[in-house]
Structure 1
Amino acid sequence: MRRNLAPRRRLFAAALLVASVLAPVATAPASAVPAPPAALADRAAPVDHGAEDCPPDGFGPELTARLDKAIEDVRVQAGIPGLIAGVWIPGKGQYVRATGVADKATGRPMTTDLFLRIGSETKTFTVTALLKLVDDGKIGLDDPIAKYIAGVPNGWNITLRQLAEMRSGLFPYTDDADFQHDLLSDPSRYFTPHEVLAYGYKHPNTAEPGTQFQYSNTNLILLGLVVEKVSGHRLVDFLEKRVLRPAKLHHTFLPDGPEFPDPHPRGYTNQTLTGEVADATNWNPSWAWAAGAMISDLADLRRWAKIVATGELLTPETQAQRLKMLPTGIPGTSYGLGIFETGGWIGHNGSIPGYETATVYLPRLKATMVLMLNTDITTQGQEPSSLVGRAVTEIVTPDNVYDRPVPPREAAPTRAADQIAMR
């Protein structure tokens, strides 16, 4: 059975998958952390998705109609149950729409006030927490990981910077067949950070530190442990105090396990042992932790897009380090410290069983785009969020198309799963 897991490695090796549970779990591990109360407050409060410097009447009837049609065409053709799309361009307009269904069984419509699992977008929060410690003078980006965490293969030669820029050479634990089998056999299972790292440590490192880009959730689990070790606080608490509150993000949090505040859509995936489509809404994302377990909503992600891309929470010097983009082997896409640039758009996306998101910012126009989908099922090898993002930006920012596909003759000689590694 484990040999049949190979086609599913896209999900695990690429963006962070997150799982949750249908079956209740009696107890969590001692290291588990409950969601901060503030993150669960005022869930029914109306959310303003507008922006003061964006005309409130959209982009005008003609362009809005084109967007409506393009998004609906992609949604139907890619089999996306429901999606939320938001675009804000100061001085030009804004577009916020929800289309399709949040629940295929009941037909409940998708709406713009829903919470979603954001998968690998969690990386932007974890790396921001790490960079806050850099600004505090408590760590250096070129410190070896072994200074803080014992047992990392070649740890004295791998720096925190290399972990954040995906150039550590550490084997991605999500590529391990035993991990995939264990998770998919029991999506309700709780994993600790050290348990998931052990799956990766069974394998030799894939490259010398700093020599090769390889997207790996192993890196971010280690950075989450560094934040805890150096700060003396649990990651969930440090994020709440030093990142989420200063950013005024009131509907974003790192859950302990499968908890999922209402309202939220059902999430659909084919990342299962059989390959059949399943409802992954309540799978337990503990295995993704600092690499991809967070939850957010449209309003918070809109705000976060600019904050993370412009460095509002960091010193200019540290933000400059973050934005030192390096090639990924994927033409048109580069990666910095827990952040990517593609088509001029800066940010990150997330893919987790049942959900996909993208939160990006275009400095040239001070534009923001947020996409939220309740599926991670690919279409001809392409992530559904990339298809939507491409369709939207071809209309609103034709000079800056998000995740523009590369002609086969120009593609880097890597396997398809690696070419969409950060999606």
Structure 2
Amino acid sequence: MPKPTILTFVHWYWPGYKGGGPIRTILNMVDVLGDDLEFRIVTSDRDLKDKAPYAGIAADSWQRVGKARVHYTSSGKQGILNWAHLIQNTPHDVVYLNSLFDLAFTFRPLLACKLMEATKNPIIIAPRGELSPGAISLKRWKKVPFLQIAKRLGLYRNIVWQATTEDEGELIRRQFGVNVKVAVAGNLPRTIVDLPPRSDAGVPRGPLRIAFLSRISRNKNLDYALRVLSGARSAIQFDIWGPLEDPVYWEECQTFMEVLRANVKVQYCGLAKPTNVIGILSNYDLLFLPTRGENYGHVIAEAFSAGTPVLISDTTPWRNLQAEGVGWDLPLDAGEHTFVKVIEESGQMIPANREVWRKRVQDFAQKRLYDPNLVSANFGLFLRASGRPCRAEDKATTLGRDLGDPAL
């Protein structure tokens, strides 16, 4: 029996990396499940905000990329008619849409499927955290009417929804009705890597090294992080990594940087390629990400894999971190002083204790991230949608192996 074919729409994919977590989500999924499922991935021919297409990639044709076949679509061929033609002419068992609000790679393909009847096969939508209160509050004036219109058009009728947590499943039911089909299948992680030696191991305590690694956008809340640091008294080196997605917001953040006390040194370090993220994070004492909301938070998982504790908001699936001894998840409305207190405590830790903590964090990652039940849940999501028989024991993939970048 041939493998089920999953026709996957995602706005950005390898070799892109500026789009953040969704790229890594699909890369990991293909790497773990690609031996048993045939992934056909439809994506843009360029990275987020880039004007030029990827070098060396043939647009508007299928090509093998790692374990998947990928269709890098040029900007002029992302309309409803083009999607209808592509869907009708690509054999598939399931259509998989990796966003709720993406105009080009969710809404238009959904219109092609529903209004132009491009497929009679099941459709799965993964909202990827876009229904969280924090995410909905950003451009609410646009998102709420969008959902109302889409519902009236019947676009979400008979959709299978993928939730990455039970909480997200509740948000989906609250938005689309208690009887909708929801399958909970969490994101698949990257591999654990051997911890490289810290360059400052064994030396007297220096400044607390803190990283912010994410897209520079309002949802990631960099301005909140900077306001917190303005109240800190410890010596701190604060490095900002990530694409400047929102230039206006970045200018606002720069005004906060200009008034930081002399004890806080801040610098923008540029983009971090996915292959380098764990290595980069391993050189910091703390990842600081007071995000407004995350569906998963790949960079948080990667920080744990790197042995780096995290200081985050309580708007992600990563909760009760202090009880685990691997970080803190604090409510944003508790006030900036609560975050300042944690940073001050971290700044007083001696290097030897930081190394012990680092090992504890990676041990936590090994136990928490690499759960074979995650594989079964994701594999079962697609098997059930495609009408194939599914048993949990049919898929026993080991998650501890290297999830490197696909060979082009």
TM-score by structure 2 length?
A: 0.24
| Larger Rg belongs to | 2
* Higher RCO (CA-CA < 8 Å; seq separation 6+): 1
